[in-house]
A = this chain, B = another copy of it.
Amino acid sequence: MVVGILGGGQLARMLALAGYPLGLNFIVLDPAPDVCAAPVAEHMQGDYDDQALLAELAQQADIVTYEFENVPAQAVAYLADKVAVYPPPQALAAAQDRLNEKTLFRRLGVDTPDFVAVNSLEELQQAMDQVGWPAVVKTRTQGYDGKGQAILKRPDDLAPAWQSLGGVPAIVEAFVPFAREVSIIAVRSTTAEVVCYPLTENSHRDGVLRLSIARPDDPMQGQAASYAARLMKELDYVGVLALELFQADNRLLANEFAPRVHNSGHWTQDGAATCQFENHLRAVLGLPLGSTDAVGHSAMVNLVGTIPAQADVLVNSHAHLHLYGKAPRPGRKVGHINLCAESRAALEAGLKRVLALAGE
């Protein structure tokens, strides 16, 4: 069985590593000459909208999935005509546009911060009366890792912010004074079976995820799982989905979802009975889903721009290193460290050392 993946980055690499034990083989399609999934997958180099390549991929792969959501919708539609593509194209379309995404959340009763669509500086100025200060303006499409957004604190910020985003269609959202950011990693199978991992608490810096801590038995688990289940049912979803949320008081407000395996689910590689990568593959292949039970207490620390000496990481008992085979560059995610412990206290003690190694 051959799985095709659009994108050949670290998520594709980790999908492949999790998939070989299931007897799978992998092809990744990626325009970059040197992708980090290449040592563990066949690399088809070319553009995502190269129809000849897409046709070849459809012929060689039994199923196609993707590791990032900015694949052109028409490429996915073209593929989906020829081969099974999961998650379904409508999930990709919803995730690619922040206005569609937030509108969908609202329609499903999934709470969100207040938001207004804006297509000009004038509309942005008018929208501020509705959403209030401070606020965040975001491009509708192509944003990731904090890119494509600007914070608005006072009227003077509006014109430079609008210019910095390039004057493209955007949405402006109320800035939520959140107590914490969390995410729920959910999985839905072809038979509509849904399982969720324990809620994960996330910390970002400069728009990039730095730390995720799994919180088994979190009081907000039920609400987050219910949001994810509504969304996946509506989209007739198959695969892993990550829903990012802000918690303010006892409310969860949906920020965005990713129709794929997610950085905040990497701790499951060492801290759950079945990792998110294997469960994504099980789901898209129509196999029974694996247990999402946490094993002990776990956290993940991203390595951004720097790789500590392997020995300094591995000397920490129960630390697991996951490198992506990438050369370090400032701001580039080059790996992560998972830390697993028997108690929350032991986890926190170990975490201090691991955060220091990651330069946090």
- Footprint of B on A, CB under 8 Å? 13, 17, 20-23, 25-26, 39-41, 273-274, 282, 285-288, 290-291, 295-296, 307, 310-311, 314-315, 317-318, 320-323, 325, 335, 340
Cβ-closest chain B residue relative to A36: B20
- Least distance between A28 CB and chain B CB atoms (Å): 13
The answer, among B20, B273, B323, for a CB contact under 8 Å with A17, is: B20
The answer, among B287, B291, B321, B340, for a CB contact under 8 Å with A21, is: B321
Q: Is the CB of B282 within 8 A of A314?
A: yes
Known: A287-B310, A288-B315. A323 touches B282 (CB 8 A): no
- Least distance between A317 CB and chain B CB atoms (Å): 5
The answer, among B26, B41, B288, B307, for a CB contact under 8 Å with A314, is: B288
The answer, among B22, B317, B325, for a CB contact under 8 Å with A323, is: B22
The answer, among B26, B273, B320, B323, for a CB contact under 8 Å with A340, is: B273
- Least distance between A301 CB and chain B CB atoms (Å): 14
By Cβ-Cβ distance, the 3 closest A-B pairs, closest first, are A23-B323, A288-B315, A21-B322
Chain B residues positioned under 8 Å from A282 (CB to CB): 314
Chain B residues positioned under 8 Å from A315 (CB to CB): 288
Q: Is the CB of A13 within 8 A of B17?
A: no
Chain B residues positioned under 8 Å from A310 (CB to CB): 22-23, 285, 287
Q: Is the CB of B287 within 8 A of A314?
A: yes
Separation of A287 and B312 alpha carbons in the complex (Å): 9
Chain B residues positioned under 8 Å from A307 (CB to CB): 23
Separation of A41 and B320 alpha carbons in the complex (Å): 22
Separation of A274 and B318 alpha carbons in the complex (Å): 8
Chain B residues positioned under 8 Å from A291 (CB to CB): 317-318
- Least distance between A217 CB and chain B CB atoms (Å): 16
Q: Is the CB of B21 within 8 A of A39?
A: no
Separation of A318 and B291 alpha carbons in the complex (Å): 6
Separation of A335 and B23 alpha carbons in the complex (Å): 9
The answer, among B39, B40, B273, for a CB contact under 8 Å with A318, is: B273
Show 13 residue pairs from A and B whose CB-CB distance is below 8 angstroms, ordered by the A residue.
A17-B17, A17-B20, A20-B325, A21-B321, A22-B310, A22-B321, A25-B39, A39-B40, A273-B318, A287-B311, A288-B314, A290-B317, A291-B318
